[in-house]
């Protein structure tokens, strides 16, 4: 393998460290394809009939990545070219570290077979899994016979590229042994988290566009050592971006099972409180002192809010005055009508007055509604969105913003089901008609500059948008169309938010994290804003 240079010389030196197993006690069954290949190996040793497995390349890459102790550099990634693909679950990758060896091997193979006259592969030696040399479009490649199609044609896999071609038998030649010492220089892989049953024709077209936008260059994270290899395909220049993430199945709603459980508990309690006798007879019964429950047996129950109704819809009138609440990005902008702001102030005032009457929460549950004192002397309705070992993340439902704090630092309390606490979120969500596939930080910063909090604006609703966030355009007293002005400034600044151009490839490029960068890419709002009605839960003081 050393005569082809590149990564193959390092690959050979690493494989020499392993002690070979000289055990040759085999039980053979004459007549099978494996038996025929072994017979050809002993009868014609000057040719190669079976290639080594690609697992040697995988082990080599894993060992090399462990040696590279580069700061801020993921230790299990390497660059690869996408040589052939059908879908995210059927893709062929060529490691960039073997590009020189692949080129030298290809050139040497073509020089040898174009200057020498080799006999056509015998028909008796044409069967599945046999390694050969095949001519395709005037070039010679190493191939593996996949299927014999009729008397004249054969389906051959080009092992260094990953494609399959249908050729005539006269295009097949036996492969010289020196060209068969190197394993296939192409890895057959499948993306993790993608199921073939979830893919449609549109998904295959989108995957093709993604590969083309990356110039067929990806960063690969190996997750298995068996072919087809399980991998994560990452964008070559955007750190941590999985290019197959759009094809993942939708995540299960975290609070869905909890809502089902609460609904079932309410149903069971309702069934247990039904009377066996007729209702009229029950209430007409004359209770005696013996029948009356004692004072200690009485248990006061209170109904608390577990979640609010979905937020309201946008007005159909374009001249309504609206105030800006929070700009997440071009896809999520939280707005308030003046009456919603007044209602929010009333709710927060009542929460502050009755804060001491609300029972505290012992355990934080996802997707439930609570009240929090954040910051000091301010009280807000919140929904828990994420609970880690040390931190809790909540959504301020009347503002659309998120807050994260250590466990135990902020106290959460239940909210009783009464007015005005049970009012829907005092906001509505809109999005601009952005054609960019992903929010850009420069675009978001300009939007926040054009749309500061409490600014009076007008929103023109696109009637084709039926659900939140509602699409449309925003105008201010100084700008008839805010988003067009933002795009104009970006264009003059030579910032292309849709650019997916690649940086020049370097074999080992260290990456650096920008300190203080807290920009979060949220493209969807919380599901409670979009669907659902008011839900309550009833329990006594002992269960709080």
Q: Residues 408, 534: one domain?
A: yes
Q: What is the CATH number of the domain that holds 426?
A: 2.30.30.140
Share of the chain above pLDDT 90, in %: 35
Domain-embedded: residue 275: no
User: Which residues lie below 8 Å from residue 194, measured CB to CB, with a gap of 6+?
Assistant: 87, 88, 89, 244, 247, 248
Domain end position, chosen among 194, 220, 247:
247
d(CA 113, CA 134): 10
**Alpha carbons 171 and 188: distance in angstroms, whole number:** 25
Domain annotation covers residue 282: no
pLDDT tens, position by position, 26-48:
566 677 778 888 889 889 999 99
Span between the terminal Cα atoms of the chain, in Å: 71
- Residue 21: predicted pLDDT: 59
Residue 276 has pLDDT above 50, yes or no: no
Domain boundary among 203, 227, 247: 247
For residues 331 and 443, is the Cβ–Cβ distance under 8 A? no
Quick one: 215 and 326 in the same domain?
no
- Domain assignment present for 349: yes
Q: Do residues 240 and 350 both lie within one domain?
A: no
| pLDDT for 94 | 92
Examine residue 139 and state whether it is found in any structural domain, yes or no: yes
- 90, 194: one domain: yes
Q: Is residue 176 situated within a structural domain?
A: yes
Does 213 lie in the same domain as 356?
A: no
> Is residue 24 domain-resident?
no
Residues forming beta bridges with residue 392, ordered by sequence position: 387, 405
Q: What is the pLDDT of residue 9?
A: 62
Considering 204, 221, 247, which residue would you say is the last residue of a domain?
A: 247
Per-residue model confidence as pLDDT tens digits over 190-237: 999 898 888 888 899 999 999 999 999 999 998 888 888 999 999 998
Alpha-carbon distance of 157 to 146, in angstroms, equals 6
**Residue 503 pLDDT greater than 60, yes or no:** no
Q: Got the DSSP string for 38-54?
A: HHHHHH-TTEE-SPPPT
Residue range of the domain that includes 409: 322-497+523-543
One domain, residues 240 and 345? no
Q: Are residues 220 and 336 in the same domain?
A: no
Q: What does the pLDDT average to over 364-382?
A: 87
- 279 confidence band (pLDDT: 50, 70, 90): very low
- DSSP secondary structure string for all residues of 156-196: EEETTT--EEEEEGGGEEPEEGGGSSSPPSSEEEEETT--G
- What is the pTM for the complete model shown? 0.48
Are both 369 and 466 inside the same structural domain? yes
| Sign of the CA dihedral with 250 first, then 327, 430, and 343 last | positive
In a domain, 280, yes or no: no
Say if 292 falls within a structural domain: no
Claim to verify: residue 238 and residue 326 sit in the same structural domain: no
Q: Is 136 helix (H, G, I), strand (E, B) or coil?
A: strand
Please work out, in degrees rounded to the nearest 5, the angle formed at the alpha carbon of residue 421 by the alpha carbons of 416 and 425. Answer: 135
For 502, the 3-state DSSP assignment is coil
Q: Which of 63-77, 206-220, 224-238, 371-385 has the lowest mean pLDDT?
A: 63-77
Question: Rounded to the nearest 10 degrees, what angle do helices 99-115 and 7-15 cross at?
Answer: 100
% of the chain at pLDDT higher than 70: 79
Choose between 60 and 24: higher pLDDT. Answer: 60
Total domains, the chain: 2
Summarize pLDDT for 414-448 with one digit per residue, the tens. Answer: 999 998 899 999 999 998 876 555 777 888 889 99
Looking at the structure, tell me whether residues 37 and 166 fall in a common domain.
yes
Query: Is residue 540 over pLDDT 80?
Result: no
> Which helix (DSSP H) or strand (DSSP E) does residue 101 occupy?
helix 99-115
* Residues 35 and 179 occupy one common structural domain: yes
Is residue 229 domain-shared with residue 343, that is, in the same domain? Answer: no
């Amino acid at each position: 393998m050393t005569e082809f240079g590149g990564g193959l010389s390092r690959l050979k030196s690493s494989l020499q460290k392993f002690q070979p197993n000289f055990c040759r006690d085999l039980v053979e069954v004459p007549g099978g394809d494996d038996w025929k290949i072994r017979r050809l190996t002993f009868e014609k040793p000057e040719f190669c009939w079976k290639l080594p497995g690609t697992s040697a390349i995988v082990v080599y890459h894993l060992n090399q990545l462990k040696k590279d102790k580069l700061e801020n550099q993921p230790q299990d990634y390497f660059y690869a070219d996408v040589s052939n693909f059908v879908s995210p679950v059927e893709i062929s990758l060529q490691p960039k570290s073997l590009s020189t060896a692949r080129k030298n091997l290809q050139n040497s193979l073509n020089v040898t077979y174009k200057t020498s006259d080799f006999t056509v592969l015998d028909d008796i030696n044409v069967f599945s899994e046999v390694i050969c040399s095949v001519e395709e479009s005037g070039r010679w490649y190493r191939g593996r016979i996949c299927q014999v199609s009729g008397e004249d044609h054969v389906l051959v896999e080009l092992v260094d590229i990953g494609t399959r071609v249908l050729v005539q038998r006269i295009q097949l030649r036996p492969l010289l042994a020196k060209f068969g010492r190197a394993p296939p220089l192409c890895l057959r892989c499948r993306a993790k988290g993608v199921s073939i049953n979830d893919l449609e024709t549109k998904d295959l077209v989108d995957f093709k566009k993604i590969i083309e936008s990356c110039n067929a260059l990806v960063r690969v994270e190996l997750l298995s050592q068996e072919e087809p290899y399980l991998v994560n395909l990452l964008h070559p220049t955007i750190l941590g971006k999985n290019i197959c993430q759009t094809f993942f199945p939708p995540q299960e709603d975290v609070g869905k099972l909890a809502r089902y459980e609460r609904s079932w508990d309410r149903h069971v309690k309702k069934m247990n409180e039904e009377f066996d006798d007729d209702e009229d007879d029950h209430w007409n019964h004359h209770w005696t002192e013996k029948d009356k429950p004692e004072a200690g047996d009485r248990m006061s129950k209170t109904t608390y809010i577990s979640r609010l109704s979905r937020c309201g819809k946008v007005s159909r009138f374009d001249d309504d005055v609206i105030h800006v609440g929070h700009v997440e990005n071009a896809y999520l902008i939280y707005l308030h009508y003046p009456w919603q702001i007044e209602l929010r102030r009333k709710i927060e005032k009542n929460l502050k007055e009755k804060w001491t009457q609300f029972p505290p929460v012992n355990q934080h549950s996802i997707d439930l509604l609570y009240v929090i004192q954040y910051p000091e002397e301010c009280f807000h309705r919140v929904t828990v969105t994420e609970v880690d070992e040390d931190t809790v993340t909540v959504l301020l439902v009347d503002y659309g913003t998120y807050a994260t704090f250590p466990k135990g630092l902020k106290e959460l309390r239940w909210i009783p089901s009464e007015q005005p606490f049970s009012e829907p979120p005092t906001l509505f969500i809109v999005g601009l008609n952005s054609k960019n596939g992903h929010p850009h930080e420069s675009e978001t910063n300009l939007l926040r500059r054009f749309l500061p909090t409490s600014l009076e604006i007008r929103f023109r609703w696109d009637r084709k948008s039926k659900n939140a966030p509602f699409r449309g355009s925003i105008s201010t007293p100084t700008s008839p169309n805010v988003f067009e002005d933002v795009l104009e400034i970006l264009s003059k600044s030579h910032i292309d938010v849709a650019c997916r151009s690649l940086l020049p490839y370097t074999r080992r490029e260290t990456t650096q994290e920008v300190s203080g960068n807290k920009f979060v890419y949220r493209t969807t709002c919380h599901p409670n804003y979009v669907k659902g009605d008011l839900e309550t839960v009833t329990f006594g003081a002992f269960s709080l």
